[in-house]
Amino acid sequence: MTSDKTSRTSHTAAQATVRVNANVPAGPTAAIVLHGMWRRGEGKFSIIVLGLWLIVAFVSLFWTPQPLLATDGYHVWATPSAAHWLGTDGTGADVLSWLMAGSRTNLLIVVLTVLFAAAFGLLLVAAMVARNGTLAGASVVVVDALISIPTVLLALILAVPLGASVTVIVVACGFGYGLNLARVARPAALLAARSSYVEAALASGASGWWTFVRHIVPNTLPVLLVQLSLSAGTAVLAESGLTYLGIGVPSGVPSWGHSLATSVKFINVYPLTVLWPGLIVTVVVVALNVFGDVLRDAVDPMVNAELRDGAAGADCDGGTLSDPLRAARPSHTVGQRTAVSVRGTADTDVAGRRSA
Amino acid sequence: MRFVVRRLLLFAAALFGVSVVVFAALRVLPGDVASVMAGLNSPASRVEALREQFGLNRPLPVQYIDWAGGLLRGDFGTSILTGRSVTSLIAARASITFPLIVLGLLIAIAIGVPLGVAATLARSSAARTAFHVAGLIGGAIPALWGGLLLILLFSRGTGLIGLFPSQGFPLDGWAAPGQAIWSLILPALTVGIIVGASLMRYTRSALGDIAGSGRIDMAMACGMTRAQAVIGVGLRLAMPQLVSVIGLTFAEMITGVMVIENLFALPGIGSGLVTDVGNRDLIAVQSELFMLAAFFLLVGLIVDLLHRALDPRLATAADASEVTA
């Protein structure tokens, strides 16, 4: 139905799609995406919160209001003051300094967990949409079986030999979230894997892996972004829970979970010290959850008009451009879009390889 | 029928897989079981004696068959520390955890489903935003912190309004049911609010999908009011999906309430497991982990079968695809 149109525009569409896919992290596209996120209230909120988190984590490497190990024995459980903005805890350590230092531990955990989950999840997706039927069938069964093992159980199993460590959190969460990701991203990936543009790519001699990375993964991007940002939020929550149970961040290492867990013991005496770490975790988790939604919309040219206009300036029709991101959307519009995307990206592939 | 058989086979295979993973994890991962049990700096002879005592010096396949054979006969082994059988340990702990989860889930359903329906029915953008933000925040509160806030509000002694006890469970268990339930209220409320928030989001998105497909409009065209259509038609159509979510949530809560049990000093399954891991009571840990995973798989199985029974369309679709295949 769209073949005559796409065949006419195939070459320019190909170039433009290459440009967008290759340049998403850099150049004007990134600015457009960021601007698209900033326009929404939720986007502003999440960018500010996550930006502050990054800045504080970086600053805490060089400077905290008080040295971490400095304890002020004369001012135990002090109320907020000029010297101790959020007061001190039971050993006289500065609460604010520990929370600032904790932000970098949590950042490390979130980044590692998300990377682990993305790598593991995509590997599973690759297996699940493999052309080898046995491998695909077996991996679906394995994912179904493994997904029922709760993250906490896995963390406990790992904690038996490893003890409390960041590794336990990262591996247990990354493993669990990777399985979730694989399950959620599979339909979109399967749709792409069975499309005629992948067929065309393979027929023109592209390797299976290249086709996967170049054509199938971009189609799962909307699901991927949302799922990974949810995972990031869950990782922050998991850190606080696991650390409290004594199988997360080891004692002595600053983290938000650590701050929360230490204040728990004295809740009867100094209830207000409990407030800060919990508040920070809640705000950050909300920001992370919102971030994925807003980012997904901002990289979607059907939603973000600027992205579409920018692409039009680059001599391309918006419809074709949107497809790699749009085709995977789990909505009733999928059908009509895929038809277009099938052509667009298949041409891209052929053209891309030709020019290479 | 083919579906049921295939699902049962998957269940059996997964049980076997889990038993291997649990067994292997405690042995293959760094840290020899016996030396971990013996503790740091203990003499080699003590480690050797422990190995001998628990048969850890036998070849791994023999150990596995011994353990798995016991599981099949219903013998879960004996806790090293207390000398009690693991079965009785788990039974005692489950008598606290299960009521807690059921109570928490009831609270979650009572909060989540009506709010999800209300969020769907809301017309003004202010109300929609309010529901959206409430769902976001409810899902982002760390369980530990939520529990602490409730303690600060409602516990006897610490709270602003001293209503409920915040620590422990009656020593004589369910001998005094009123007291027992009373001590479960705060922890159940903590769980209920957090799970309720996610249930609300599920309900709303499920109803949204159904509305998007035009079936709510259809019901309204037939003369129903919007509220009638959403509750009568939408909720019925969303039911299979919601039952799945609730079932899986139930399974997740077994371990999910670990933090809550610890915070409220309830000797349930989760906090018991953490204690055993801390005490290096590895034979007990091994069987407990397996039982939890098995329970998980069982709930998954029941949910899948129930989902199928509640949604006749699935069976028809599968039959149709089998015919065409």
Angle, helices A27-38/A41-62, rounded to nearest 10 degrees = 110
Min CA distance, B259 vs chain A (Å)? 6
Q: What is the pLDDT of residues B227-269, one digit of tens each?
A: 888 888 888 888 888 888 888 788 778 777 888 988 888 888 8
**Range picked from A5-9, A16-20, B161-165 for highest mean pLDDT:** B161-165
Q: Are A153 and B136 inside 8 Å of each other by CB?
A: no
Residue with tokens 């409220």: B264
- What's the rounded Cα separation, in Å, for the pair A290 and A285? 9
- What's the rounded Cα separation, in Å, for the pair B81 and B38? 12
Q: Which residues of B touch A332 (CB under 8 A)?
A: 212-213
pLDDT at residue A302 greater than cutoff 50: yes
Nearest CA in chain A to B17: A145
Q: Are A267 and B152 inside 8 Å of each other by CB?
A: yes
pLDDT at residue A116 greater than cutoff 90: yes
Ranking B38-52, B97-111, B279-293 by mean pLDDT, the lowest is B38-52
Own/partner pairs, B85-92, CB within 8 angstroms, 24+ separation = B86/B283, B86/B284, B86/B287, B86/B288, B89/B272, B89/B284, B89/B288, B90/B269, B90/B272, B90/B288, B90/B291, B92/B267
Q: What is the pLDDT of residues B50-92, one digit of tens each?
A: 777 777 777 888 888 888 888 888 788 777 767 788 888 888 8
Q: Which residues of A touch B263 (CB under 8 A)?
A: 244, 264
This model of the complex carries an ipTM of 0.78
Min CA distance, B225 vs chain A (Å)? 25
Q: Fill in the amino acid letter for B83.
A: G
- pLDDT mean over B221-228: 87
Among B137, B143, B296, the residue with its CB nearest the CB of A149 is B296
Q: Pick B310 or B235 by higher pLDDT.
A: B235
**Range picked from A51-55, A183-187, A271-275 for highest mean pLDDT:** A51-55
Other Cβ atoms within 10 Å of B5 Cβ, number? 9
C-alpha dihedral (B175, B179, B182, B184), degrees to nearest 10? -40
Q: Residue B85 gets which letter from DSSP?
A: B
pLDDT at residue B298 greater than cutoff 50: yes
Residues 6 or more apart from B31 whose CB is under 8 A from it?
A160, A161, A162
Short-list B47, B13, B82, CA closest to B288: B82
Q: Which residues of A touch B152 (CB under 8 A)?
A: 267, 271, 274
Residue B25 — pLDDT band, cuts 50, 70, 90? confident
Min CA distance, B137 vs chain A (Å)? 6
- pLDDT mean over B9-18: 84
Q: Which residues of B touch A281 (CB under 8 A)?
A: 140, 142, 145
- What's the rounded Cα separation, in Å, for the pair A227 and A245? 26
Residue B103 — pLDDT band, cuts 50, 70, 90? very high
Q: What is the pLDDT of residues A195-240, one digit of tens each?
A: 888 889 888 888 888 888 888 888 888 889 989 999 999 999 999 9
Min CA distance, A335 vs chain B (Å)? 14
Ranking A22-31, A231-240, A273-282, B14-23 by mean pLDDT, the lowest is A22-31
- pLDDT mean over A94-118: 91
Min CA distance, A350 vs chain B (Å)? 33
Nearest CA in chain B to A271: B152
pLDDT value for A323: 44
- Helix (H) and strand (E) counts in chain A: 16, 0
Short-list B237, B189, B248, CA closest to B212: B237
Q: Are A278 and B142 inside 8 Å of each other by CB?
A: yes
Min CA distance, B270 vs chain A (Å)? 10
Q: Which residues of B touch A148 (CB under 8 A)?
A: 14, 251, 293, 296-297, 300
Q: Are B10 and A141 inside 8 Å of each other by CB?
A: yes
B78: helix, strand or coil:
strand
Q: Are A245 and B251 inside 8 Å of each other by CB?
A: no
Q: Residue A250 gets which letter from DSSP?
A: P
Q: Are B144 and A241 inside 8 Å of each other by CB?
A: yes
Share of chain B above pLDDT 70, in %: 87
C-alpha dihedral (B72, B101, A110, A65), degrees to nearest 10? -130
pLDDT at residue A326 greater than cutoff 50: no
Own/partner pairs, A159-163, CB within 8 angstroms, 24+ separation = A159/A247, A159/B277, A160/B25, A160/B26, A160/B29, A160/B31, A160/B36, A160/B277, A160/B280, A160/B282, A160/B285, A161/B26, A161/B29, A161/B30, A161/B31, A161/B36, A162/B29, A162/B30, A162/B31, A163/A247, A163/A250
Q: Are B278 and A246 inside 8 Å of each other by CB?
A: yes
Contact A328, A220 (CB under 8 A): yes
Other Cβ atoms within 10 Å of A160 Cβ, number? 22
Domain ranges of chain A: 102-299, 301-356
- What's the rounded Cα separation, in Å, for the pair B119 and B130? 9
- pLDDT mean over A185-202: 88
| Interface test mutation site (partner A, options B16, B28, B145, B156, max chain A beta carbons within 10 A) | B145
Tokens of residue B172, six digits: 């004589």
Q: How many CB pairs under 8 A join A and B?
A: 137
| Assessment of whether the complete model's pTM goes beyond 0.80 | no
A182-210 b/e (C-beta count within 10 Å ≥ 16 → b) = bbbbbebbbbbbebebbebbbeeebeeee
B78-95 b/e (C-beta count within 10 Å ≥ 16 → b) = bbbeeeebbeebbeebbb
Q: Are B251 and A148 inside 8 Å of each other by CB?
A: yes
Q: Which residues of A touch B7 (CB under 8 A)?
A: none
- Helix (H) and strand (E) counts in chain B: 15, 0
Q: Are A145 and B282 inside 8 Å of each other by CB?
A: no
B40: helix, strand or coil:
coil
Q: What is the pLDDT of residues B134-152, one digit of tens each?
A: 888 988 898 888 888 888 8
Min CA distance, B228 vs chain A (Å)? 25
Contact B77, B289 (CB under 8 A): no
Contact B213, B186 (CB under 8 A): no
Q: At the top level of CATH, which class does the domain A102-299 belong to?
A: mainly alpha
Nearest CA in chain B to A258: B144
